[in-house]
Structure formats: C-alpha cells, structure tokens
C-alpha cells in the first residue's frame, strides 16, 4: 500500500514536471523563476524575444536583469521582487511600457509572486509577463473613434470642445486672439436627396479635406455633424486678417466636385466669432459663430460674416459669472444628501453630497445649471473645495452621534477639471485632517468622461489620492465610453452604474446582461457596485438579483437636508 502510494507520488511529480516543461517551452508568455537575489533560475522560451542580439536564452540563467536590460527596467523589476520577498504579497497585472531593444512600441502586463518551499519559506520569486500591445492598441483605437468623425476623419464636437477649452487656457498665459469659424454647406440637402447619401458622404469628406488644406497647422478642423464644420484658428497675430482667412475657406470649398461623371457645385457660408477673452464660454463662442453664419446665409449665402466679442459677447454670461462668484463668498451654496443603501439588508450605508445654489431671485438652482458653467469659467475649484469641506464637516458631526451607522461614508463629486489641477490631493488631505475624518469614509466620485479626455493629466492626482486612502468611485458608468481597462489602471473602489442603464434594466435583456457581467468582473477586482437612479421596485429587485452591492435613487430616498438624514439614521 505504502509502496503504491509513493509510486503514485513519483508519477504525479513527473507529470507536474512534464507540464512545467511544456509550459516553459511553449507559453507565449514570459515565465521566469528567480532566486532571492533576483538571479534567473529558470526561464521560458517566451523570454527569448527579450534577449539582446548576440546572446541566447540560456545566458540569462544565473544573471540578473541588470546584466541584460536597461538600468531603469532592471531597477524597477528588482525593487518589485525584493518587495515581494520582504512582505510575501503578489504584484498582479502591472502594466508597463517595454524598453527593450526593438520593443519600444510595446506594452506588457506582469504578475509576480513569492516562490516558497514546502515549509512556506520564501526562496525566490515567480513571474509571468504577457504582451498586451494588441489590447492597448485596440483601446487606443477606441479612444480614436470616440474623438473622430468616421465620415471625414476630422475630430468631432467632443474633441473640438476640448481643444477650444485648451486654447482659451493657453490665452491666459499668452494673450492673443482666437477665431471660431462655423462653416455650413449651402443647399446640401439637395445633394443628398438627388444623388443619395453615399455621394453626400463623399462630398462631406472632400469638403473636410479642403478645409484642412486651407487651414494652418495649428488650426483644428472639426465636423459637428450633418453639413456643419468648425475651424478653430488659434494664436492669431494682430495683423492676421480674419476676413481673408474666411475668404480662403469660402473659395476653397466652392468649386466643382465630380461625382459619377457629373459636376456638383457646392458653396458654403461661414460665420466667424473672434475673441481675445480667455474667460469666454466655449459654448457661447460656437453659438456666436453659428449666429454669424445664419446672418451670412440670410444675406445671400456663399459668403462670410464676422462677429467679435465687443459686438456680441453676451453680457448675460458675464453677469452669471459675477453672481456665481459672489454666491460662493456669500454662502449661497448648500448641500443636500442622497442616501445610499446596502441592497443585501437595506440598511443606510452612506450619502452622496449634492450641491445646490440658493439664488436670491431664481430660487434653488440645480447643479446641472451652474456646474458646467463654473467648470468653463474657472470657478469649479472654489465650488468643489467648498463642497468637500462642508461634506467633511457634516460627516464629522454625524459620526460622533450615538448609534450612527458604523462605516457610514460620504461621497463627494469631483469635476474632471479639478483633478487635472496639481494640488487637488493636498486640498483633500487638508479637509480630512481639519475635520479629523478617517480617509476611507470619503469617496470621491469621478466621471468616466473626465478619464477619457484627460487621463494623462489626472493620473498623478489619482495616485496621490489613492495613497491618501480616500476611496474613488467611477461615476455615471456606462454613459461615456466604457473602457473597462480604466478599472484596472486606476485604483477604483466603487463603480456607479448610471441611471440610464438602471432604467433599461427591467426591460432590456442586453442591459441586464451587461450589468451582470460588469458586476461579476468588478467583484473579481474587489470593486463594489452601486446602482444609481433606482425608481421602481422591479429595478431594485433586479439589481439585488444581479448581486449589486448598493442602491441609490428616488425609490429609496431623494436628496434631503442634513436634518432629514439624521431622522432617517436615527
């Protein structure tokens, strides 16, 4: 009996060794074992691709990364491995740009863990690195689609607005002028109607090419949709004649287009809005150019019309700016709190702070009416700081009450624009210290769109916030372009499924399947999931059935005053 067992053991060991050999020989991934000094003990065939010319795979054995790769790469790998050896914790899915000889354009994902002997002592590390270049490229392609118009290849409205905002910010540092040219084709509908949509699309693509051809390198040419284009001309010099630039576009577009042997003639009307005010509202600029374009059309098409800020720039925007700025100082802003409940046992687990403006004449103004405006006019920082401080103060007061729900959290919305500012993490740290709040009680809600547009700028702030210990929620999930990759890249703790999804969940099988998949995946990554905008029992039951962790919505509770929260919690 004993003998038989040990024979089986031997067989099993051999089987394991054969499997390991096969894995090492065939895996496309790079698998490697290292000793306590980070010297290679065993490497898979996949590592061959990383070995510099003139050396072979076996040369790695007994050597460290320092003998083969860049100092930077080797030092980072060494540091990671020594950390694993010290604390035994694994590093999973670390995303890195490759720095090897011919792999400058490649991305890899690496997981490393401790290698232990039978007694559990750490004797080295085990690592596996996968090439994820294709995946990253696919994501970039997706980002490209989000920012471009498929018919003309020009940037779309979304990207244009972003560039316009950047141009205005640049004007703060370097005073100058910019012009927004709104280009609209005359009688385009007739082309579509008589020649079909394919011909229409070809004309649009050609117009896009001509506009690009006649613009300067720093300019942005965008298609807003339909037959509307916008050219953003930045850094105009004093002696740049805008009328001349516009004439160039009008002339450039007007000309014969040949389609299937027939001549089509296309003309356009251009409206121009010029400003030198860095505080100008981007939407107003587009609207101003649009209005000027209508004037051009009204006065006989195939021409242009120029408005400038002195003529037009709406005094209403300026007034709103002064009002809002004063509102912050005068304490006209206040917070309501919308409760969040655990779906498992329906207990109150926290609230989300939602800002309101008590306007002396207009009454209570909802955030959608002033937050976007504040973002465009440089006032959002002051608003977000106020909300953060007030929310922390209120939380500190609540949690000291007897019988207050344990683990109660406060969620605060943060504008993407704020995140891009350096120093935001310090403001947060300052607020939680001032009110002596445990960081994990604060959850900052960030929208997906902020991530897509400004990933580069906000990465650092996010890392600083993570190390502060505050939680991060991805807000309105499903409305932007949902790159699930963000979940892994930034340390998200909570995912808030947008109301529009929750709304469909009762009726759309597809949306239900998406929510089920997103929830399962989030849980695997240690992320908890909140369903937003729950309005019906059916939605509540479905979310609960899909293992969603928390719910928020009018069915459960509306945004309410601090006193009402106390009544609810008590």
Closer to Ca ion by Cβ: residue 270 or 353 = 353
Question: Which of ligand C2E, Ca ion, none sits in contact with 535, Cβ below 5 to 8 A by type?
Answer: ligand C2E
d(CA 346, CA 92): 34
* Helix extents (H) in 91-195: 133-147, 157-173, 188-195
Q: Rounded to the nearest whole angstrom, what is the least distance from the CB of residue 532 to Ca ion in the complex?
A: 5
Q: Rounded to the nearest whole angstrom, what is the least distance from the CB of residue 279 to ligand C2E in the complex?
A: 19
* Helix extents (H) in 187-314: 188-195, 197-214, 242-253, 282-298, 309-312
Contacts of 564 (CB under 8 A, 6+ apart): none
Closer to Ca ion by Cβ: residue 110 or 394 = 394
DSSP state at residue 404: P
Residue with tokens 């300019």: 219
Q: Which residue is nearest to Ca ion (CB)?
A: 445
Contact present, 492 and 458 (Cβ < 8 Å): no
Token pair recorded at residue 43: 């490497």
- How many positions of this chain bind Ca ion (CB under 5 A)? 5
Question: Which of ligand C2E, Ca ion, none sits in contact with 127, Cβ below 5 to 8 A by type?
Answer: none
Give residues 514-543 in contact with Ca ion (rule: CB under 5 A).
532
Q: Rounded to the nearest whole angstrom, what is the least distance from the CB of residue 447 to ligand C2E in the complex?
A: 7
Query: Should residue 227 be labelled a site residue for Ca ion when binding is judged by CB under 5 A?
Result: no
Query: Should residue 476 be labelled a site residue for Ca ion when binding is judged by CB under 5 A?
Result: yes
Q: Which residue ranges make up the site for ligand C2E (CB under 6 A)?
A: 338, 354-355, 366-368, 371, 384, 387, 413-415, 445, 475-476, 499, 533-535, 552-554, 559
Closer to ligand C2E by Cβ: residue 28 or 369 = 369
- Three-state secondary structure call for residue 537: helix
Cβ burial 106-143 (10 Å sphere, 16+ → b, else e):
bbbbbebbbbeeeeeebebbbbbbbbbeeebeebeeee
Q: Rounded to the nearest whole angstrom, what is the least distance from the CB of residue 503 to Ca ion in the complex?
A: 13
- Three-state secondary structure call for residue 42: strand
Contact present, 447 and 416 (Cβ < 8 Å): yes
Question: Which of ligand C2E, Ca ion, none sits in contact with 428, Cβ below 5 to 8 A by type?
Answer: none
Give the H/E segment covering residue 9: helix 2-26
Query: Should residue 445 be labelled a site residue for Ca ion when binding is judged by CB under 5 A?
Result: yes
Closer to ligand C2E by Cβ: residue 229 or 341 = 341
Contact present, 67 and 94 (Cβ < 8 Å): no
Closer to ligand C2E by Cβ: residue 161 or 231 = 161
Q: Rounded to the nearest whole angstrom, what is the least distance from the CB of residue 457 to ligand C2E in the complex?
A: 16
Query: Should residue 418 be labelled a site residue for Ca ion when binding is judged by CB under 5 A?
Result: no
- Three-state secondary structure call for residue 60: helix
Closer to ligand C2E by Cβ: residue 233 or 335 = 335
Q: Rounded to the nearest whole angstrom, what is the least distance from the CB of residue 413 to Ca ion in the complex?
A: 5
> How many helices (H) and strands (E) in the chain?
20, 21
Closer to ligand C2E by Cβ: residue 306 or 540 = 540
d(CA 225, CA 150): 11
Contacts of 279 (CB under 8 A, 6+ apart): 168, 321, 377, 378
Nearest by Cα to 564 from 331, 333, 336: 336
Q: Rounded to the nearest whole angstrom, what is the least distance from the CB of residue 268 to ligand C2E in the complex?
A: 38
Q: Rounded to the nearest whole angstrom, what is the least distance from the CB of residue 276 to ligand C2E in the complex?
A: 29
Pairing of strands 528-531, 91-97: unpaired
Residue with tokens 């950390």: 83
Q: Rounded to the nearest whole angstrom, what is the least distance from the CB of residue 344 to ligand C2E in the complex?
A: 20
Interface with Ca ion by CB under 5 A: which range of 228-236, 276-284, 437-445, 546-554?
437-445
d(CA 92, CA 152): 41
Token pair recorded at residue 109: 């994902």
Closer to ligand C2E by Cβ: residue 286 or 340 = 340
d(CA 70, CA 182): 51
Closer to ligand C2E by Cβ: residue 355 or 505 = 355
Closer to ligand C2E by Cβ: residue 155 or 450 = 450
Question: Which of Ca ion, ligand C2E, none sits in contact with 559, Cβ below 5 to 8 A by type?
Answer: ligand C2E
Query: Should residue 98 be labelled a site residue for Ca ion when binding is judged by CB under 5 A?
Result: no
- Taking CB under 5 A as the criterion, the residue among 413, 482, 522, 528 binding Ca ion is 413
Q: Rounded to the nearest whole angstrom, what is the least distance from the CB of residue 85 to ligand C2E in the complex?
A: 43
d(CA 41, CA 33): 5
Interface with Ca ion by CB under 5 A: which range of 7-15, 39-47, 120-128, 475-483?
475-483
Q: Rounded to the nearest whole angstrom, what is the least distance from the CB of residue 539 to Ca ion in the complex?
A: 15
- Three-state secondary structure call for residue 384: helix
Pairing of strands 40-43, 177-185: unpaired
What mask, x for binding Ca ion by CB under 5 A, covers residues 48 to 77? ------------------------------
Question: Which of Ca ion, ligand C2E, none sits in contact with 554, Cβ below 5 to 8 A by type?
Answer: ligand C2E
Closer to ligand C2E by Cβ: residue 236 or 355 = 355
Closer to ligand C2E by Cβ: residue 200 or 559 = 559
Rg (CA), the chain: 30
d(CA 197, CA 188): 11
Q: Rounded to the nearest whole angstrom, what is the least distance from the CB of residue 77 to Ca ion in the complex?
A: 39
Q: Which residues form the interface with Ca ion (CB under 5 A)? A: 413, 445, 475-476, 532
């Amino acid at each position: 009996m004993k003998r038989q067992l040990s024979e089986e053991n031997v067989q099993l060991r051999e089987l394991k060794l054969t499997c390991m050999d096969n894995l090492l020989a065939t895996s496309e991934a790079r698998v490697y074992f290292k000793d306590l000094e980070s010297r290679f003990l065993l490497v898979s065939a996949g590592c061959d691709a990383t070995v510099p010319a003139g050396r072979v795979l076996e040369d790695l054995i007994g050597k460290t990364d320092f003998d083969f790769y860049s100092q930077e790469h080797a030092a980072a790998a060494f540091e990671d491995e020594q950390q694993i050896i010290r604390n035994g914790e694994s590093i999973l899915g670390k995303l890195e740009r490759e720095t090897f000889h011919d792999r400058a354009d490649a991305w890899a994902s690496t997981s490393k863990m401790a290698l232990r002997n039978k007694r559990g002592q750490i004797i080295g590390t085990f690592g596996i690195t996968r090439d994820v270049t294709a995946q990253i490229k696919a994501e970039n392609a997706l980002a490209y689609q989000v920012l471009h118009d498929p018919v003309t290849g020009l940037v779309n409205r979304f990207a244009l607005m972003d560039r316009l905002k950047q141009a205005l910010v640049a004007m703060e540092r370097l005073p100058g002028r910019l012009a927004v040219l709104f280009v609209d084709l005359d009688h385009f509908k007739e082309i579509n109607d008589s020649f079909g949509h394919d011909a229409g699309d070809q004309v649009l693509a050609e117009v896009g090419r001509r506009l690009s051809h006649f613009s300067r390198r720093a300019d942005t040419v965008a298609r807003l949709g339909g037959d509307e284009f916008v050219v953003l001309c930045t850094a105009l010099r004093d002696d740049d004649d805008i009328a001349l630039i516009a004439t160039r576009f009008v002339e450039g577009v007007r000309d014969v287009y040949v389609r299937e042997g027939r001549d089509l003639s296309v003309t356009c009307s251009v409206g121009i809005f010029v400003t030198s005010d860095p505080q100008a509202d981007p939407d107003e600029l587009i609207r101003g150019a649009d209005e000027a374009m209508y004037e051009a059309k009204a006065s006989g098409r195939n021409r242009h019309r120029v408005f400038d800020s002195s003529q037009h720039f709406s005094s209403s925007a300026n007034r709103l700016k002064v009002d809002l700025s004063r509102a912050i100082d005068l304490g006209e802003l206040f917070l309501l709190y919308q409760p969040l409940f655990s779906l498992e046992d329906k207990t109150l687990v926290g609230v989300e702070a939602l800002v309101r403006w008590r306007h002396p004449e207009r009454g209570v103004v909802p955030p959608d009416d002033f937050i976007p405006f504040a973002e465009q006019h440089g006032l959002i920082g002051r608003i977000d700081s106020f909300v953060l401080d007030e929310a922390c103060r209120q939380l500190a007061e609540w949690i000291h009450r007897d019988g207050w729900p344990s683990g109660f959290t406060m969620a605060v919305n943060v504008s993407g624009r704020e995140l891009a500012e350096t120093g935001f993490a310090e403001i947060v740290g300052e607020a939680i210290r001032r009110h002596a709040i445990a960081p994990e009680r604060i959850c900052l809600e960030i929208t997906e769109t902020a991530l897509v547009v400004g990933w580069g700028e906000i990465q650092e702030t996010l890392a600083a916030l993570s190390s502060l210990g505050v939680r991060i929620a991805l807000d309105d999930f499903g409305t932007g372009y949902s790159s699930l990759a963000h979940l892994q890249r930034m340390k998200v703790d909570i995912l808030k499924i947008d109301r529009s999804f929750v709304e469909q969940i009762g009726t759309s099988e597809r949306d239900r399947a998406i929510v089920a998949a997103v929830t399962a995946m989030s849980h695997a990554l240690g992320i908890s999931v909140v369903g937003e905008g729950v309005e019906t029992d059916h939605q509540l039951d479905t979310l609960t059935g899909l293992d969603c962790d928390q719910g928020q919505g009018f069915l459960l509770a509306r945004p309410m005053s601090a006193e009402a929260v106390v009544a609810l919690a008590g």
